[in-house]
Structure 1
Amino acid sequence: MRIVTIIRSAIAISVLATSTVHAESSDLNIYGFMSVGVGILDNDKVTIEGFEGEGNFKQDTIIALQVSKQVNDKTTATGQLVSRGTDDFKTEAAWAFVSYQATEDFTARMGRLRIPFFYYSEFLEVGYAYNWVRLPSDIYNIPFSSFDGVDFTQRFSIGSLDNSIQVNYGRLTDDLNIFDEDYKADLRNIAGISLNSTYGDWGFRLGGQRTEMTLDSQVDTAYVTAVQNATIAEAAYNANQTPATGANLQNAGATLADAQVEFNNSRRIDQGQTGAVLLSQQMGLDLDVENEFSLDGHTADFYNAAIMYDNGDYSFITEITAIEYESGLLVDNRAWLASVAKRIGSTTTHLTYSNSRDVLNSGDSGKLQKALKLQGEDKSVTLGLRYDYDVNTAIKVEAQYHDELEHQGEKGDHAMLYSFAVDVIF
């Protein structure tokens, strides 16, 4: 099945409310999608997709139901409930919005919406809409998938080029999972614009977003004080070895040992923020560390571009993202993927290469990021097979080679991830 056809089938589930709905006001439409899968990683030393050596049957399992009600000729109410295996199948509202079709080409929506960041934004979790078992994480690595706000979409054509421009604004207050740890987040002023175009078998996308980030990370002041006191006590003892300075050093060491235990059990971003304060002092850097290496109201910019081609037999997509963080605690990132696919009957074979590379800041900020070992680089090669064995149902198998070229500032390892999944829409 060609990708464009797959996407059109998925539209009935994921983008129904963005289209003009021709139905009686009494119509109530219920749709759904489901994916079940298993993944096995052959090297526990590698971090990828939440998988490990044992078979994981929850990571790729998800079920969702979408309800859409045509309230009147211009207004539609839409809700989508999602349960994910990665979240112990807790149910949440991924979509909950009202759309207003002002004209045939202009739509306004308000409520809980999908993040408009990627080519596959409107159907991030509809596995049936793409060939992969899961979207490549080198590109699709934002730790949230919805936000609360508004968007406005204007559709227009220039000759044979069909276009839509979408402007969005909103906020998200939620717990975010970053580095497999939970943080209370307040993402304010999420604002952006995206352009999507189609020309025959070609598709294009260009977009950008900005948000103000606040996480509940904090400096471990007890650990900072313990390190400073131990350093002073050690210097005093080395300069004048007396019973008094020895006792002070012993007491400072015991306090530091206790503080070290608490520090080791703290979250990674908390550790990074604490380490930034200490290392900047040791390195004598000219930085306002508590401001530059915090996550309190600092902005993040996200840029995305994609080109796609699909003639029914062959298809390819290339997608590029760039993330720029104002805070030094999160390293700027550049990522891209290129994927080709060949369809023969009901079977599609695809090959994908993806790369994600962190980019350190310049000057003292970059020196501190390097000392904190915040940088990394990954590449992946994925070979997969999709078989649409019946209506609205697909079986997928994949083998992914993942290489951590650099992980937390050190040379990483590599692994193979083997995956199997079944995707349905109904």
Structure 2
Amino acid sequence: MLRIKPTLLAVAILASAQASASDDDLRINGFMSVGVGMLSTDDIAASGFDTDANFSTDTIVALQISKQINETTSATTQLVSRGTESYDTNAAWAYVTYAIDSDTDVRAGRLRTPFFYYSDFLEVGYAYNWVRPPEEVYSLDALASVNGIDVTHRFNMGSTDGSVQTYFGRLDTSYAVIGEAYELELKNFGGVVLNLNRGNFGTRLSYHRADVYGDLDATGTRALDGLVAFATSVGRGDDFDITGQTTQFVEAAGTWENGDYAVIAEYTALRHGTASMLDANAFLVTGAKRFGTTTVHATYTTRRDLTDGDALQKSLQTNAQVHEQSYILGARYDYDTGTAFKFEVQYQDEKTILGVDGKSGMLYSAAIDLVF
């Protein structure tokens, strides 16, 4: 299997809470990645790396604990320690599942936000070929979990298998913009995801929305505070206010895999109801070829912030605009059961960074990924 699609082993680990009632013992599974990365130059910024070897950014360990309570109900929690957070342990998942029938589940608690094709496996490095998913597309880390409820219904239509997931909840979180932290509340946070698979082909479509509330302060010293202060001074404060504004996110992915070759393409569009945050489009396409226990892969990915409105609004937004693209070439060696070694090189071209011409450089990465 090429692992463009999540591996069966990784799926089994993350789905262990849906075991049958006869498998009612406490289950403990886990995954771990130990990675290192280094930039060729300090002129670019990529995934938190610099020109010194960094062993924290791609290092993570997690345990998933699940218990089948009875024939219809199970409990699941996933405890994660990340190198980027000084290995503090947090609950990425903590939910109860109720099986309405064999095809329909309801979950309530802390859930993974299903933004992307790899969302359910975002931190399980073993489930994909990259050392890390490309940040140009997979850029909503701070919003990766939601507190709420979801319903998933699985179905088939002839030779087509599919599922529909709907969710609704709320999230309070810190969100970084240009390296500065802002406190956000996402209310009425919800969406719908459609998955379809037929033979070697797969399709995923999703839509998400939330009403955003933030701690912007015209008297503050952060960049967005200053932006709101200036907009207010010229009578445009309402355009740049984020309170109660709706943000929408759309994603579409297509996959093809025949056992030796695999391709995936994924597109995302982010649209904000406030001029303080830039709309953005992102896209990736990746292909892989398997040679026994070794898989080689190549990826192109890009992200572009958009400006809109009148001349004043565009002028202010241009100062925060980003347009970048990357080319990734890598290899994966599955040297034993549940273990993989990866190495990749990434050429990052920062065409525009904060409204000015950017630089380019290389990011070198390696990792060992395990599931157990």
Q: What is the TM-score with the length of structure 2 in the denominator?
A: 0.96
Determine the structure 2 residue equivalent to 1:314: 261
AA matched with 1:346: T
Determine the structure 1 residue equivalent to 2:154: 155
Q: Is the 8 A contact 2:2 2:288 kept in 1?
A: no
The answer to whether the aligner puts 1:12 opposite 2:42 as a matched pair is no
| Gap regions ≥5 residues in structure 1 | 221-262, 282-287
Determine the structure 1 residue equivalent to 2:281: 334
AA matched with 1:8: L
Determine the structure 2 residue equivalent to 1:2: 2
| Gap regions ≥5 residues in structure 2 | none
What root-mean-square deviation, in Å, do the aligned CA atoms of Structure 1 and Structure 2 show? 1.6
Determine the structure 2 residue equivalent to 1:424: 370
Q: Is the 8 A contact 2:5 2:128 kept in 1?
A: no
Q: Structure 1 residue 28: deviation in Å?
A: 0.6
Determine the structure 2 residue equivalent to 1:125: 123
Q: Distance in 1 between matches of 2:23 and 2:370?
A: 28
Instruction: Give the strand-richer structure, 1 or 2.
Output: 2
Q: 1:176 to 1:424 in 2, by over 3 A?
A: same
Q: Is the 8 A contact 1:15 1:122 kept in 2?
A: no
Which of 208, 212, 225 is equivalent to 1:270? Answer: 225
Determine the structure 1 residue equivalent to 2:57: 59
Q: 1:6 to 1:188 in 2, by over 3 A?
A: closer
Q: Distance in 1 between matches of 2:226 and 2:330?
A: 39
Q: Distance in 1 between matches of 2:348 and 2:99?
A: 45
Q: Distance in 1 between matches of 2:133 and 2:10?
A: 15
Please state whether the residue corresponding to 1:272 is helix, strand or coil: helix
Map 1:258-297 → 2, pairs under 5 A: 266-278=221-233, 281=234, 289-297=236-244
Q: Distance in 2 between matches of 1:32 and 1:109?
A: 21
Q: Distance in 2 between matches of 1:159 and 1:29?
A: 34
AA matched with 1:385: A
Please state whether the residue corresponding to 1:52 is helix, strand or coil: coil
User: Highest Rg: 1 or 2?
Assistant: 1
Q: Structure 1 residue 183: deviation in Å?
A: 2.1
The answer to whether the aligner puts 1:356 opposite 2:303 as a matched pair is yes
Determine the structure 1 residue equivalent to 2:251: 304
Please state whether the residue corresponding to 1:118 is helix, strand or coil: coil
Determine the structure 2 residue equivalent to 1:188: 187
Map 1:396-407 → 2, pairs under 5 A: 396-407=342-353
Please state whether the residue corresponding to 2:7 is helix, strand or coil: helix
Determine the structure 2 residue equivalent to 1:45: 43
AA matched with 2:102: E
Q: Is the 8 A contact 2:4 2:128 kept in 1?
A: no
Instruction: Give the helix-richer structure, 1 or 2.
Output: 1
Q: Is the 8 A contact 1:323 1:334 kept in 2?
A: yes
The answer to whether the aligner puts 1:324 opposite 2:271 as a matched pair is yes
Q: Distance in 1 between matches of 2:149 and 2:37?
A: 37
Which of 333, 347, 354 is equivalent to 2:294? Answer: 347
The answer to whether the aligner puts 1:374 opposite 2:301 as a matched pair is no
Determine the structure 2 residue equivalent to 1:230: none
The answer to whether the aligner puts 1:170 opposite 2:169 as a matched pair is yes
AA matched with 2:249: F
User: Between the two proteins, what is the percent identity of the paired residues?
Assistant: 43
Tell which deviates more after alignment, 173-182 or 99-108: 173-182
1:274-299 deviations in whole A, cap 9, x for unaligned?
A: 34345xx3xxxxxx522221222211
The answer to whether the aligner puts 1:146 opposite 2:93 as a matched pair is no
1:361-386 deviations in whole A, cap 9, x for unaligned?
A: 1324643434x512120000000010
Tell which deviates more after alignment, 386-395 or 2-11: 2-11
AA matched with 1:180: G
- Number of equivalences: 371
